[in-house]
Amino acid sequence: MIPTWVRRWVGIPFASRGRDPGKGLDCWGLVRAVLADHWQVEVPSYDEGYHTAADSREIARLVAGELPLAWRPVEGLPKPGDVALLRVRGLACHVGIVVEAGRLLHTLPGHEAAVDRLDSPLWARRVLGYYRHEALP
């Protein structure tokens, strides 16, 4: 059963560089908003680091440079609030937030925010790792 708090995020439209849930969010905007709302963890916007969400190479460079700064790799099983880093088109350029064991809240261009299973054929081989913000226990 998906946690009740997740329901308010499902269905939010995708918006490239989106940082406002009322107008739309991109994948990092969604992670950022959920962390702030549910865990009171503020993380940088990073929207100045890329022109559009279609700039996969720019986003991959940004992820490689920024992720190690306030995030630590998760050892063992991920828990709610951890960020999954995923490969799309061969690049580490997509993120989502773990909402429960094996389930990820995320959004992609052309889609609304949704919860997907991490062991699905689409995502199982694309997970590169999980990261926990230093402010989370």
What is the per-residue pLDDT across 30-84, written as a single tens digit (0 to 9) for each? 999 999 999 999 988 877 766 676 667 777 777 777 666 678 899 999 999 999 9
Instruction: Answer whether 119's CB lies under 8 Å from 86's CB.
Output: no
Q: pTM of the prediction? A: 0.89
Structure token digits, residue 70: 């306030």
* Nearby residues of 47 by Cβ (< 8 Å), 6 or more positions away: 17, 19, 28, 29
Token pair belonging to 4: 């009740």
128 vs 52, 107, 124, 125, CA distance in Å? 22, 17, 10, 8
In the chain, where are the structural domains located? 4-133
Q: Is 118 within 8 Å of 124 (Cβ atoms)?
A: yes
Q: Specify the CATH architecture of the domain 4-133.
A: Alpha-Beta Complex (3.90)
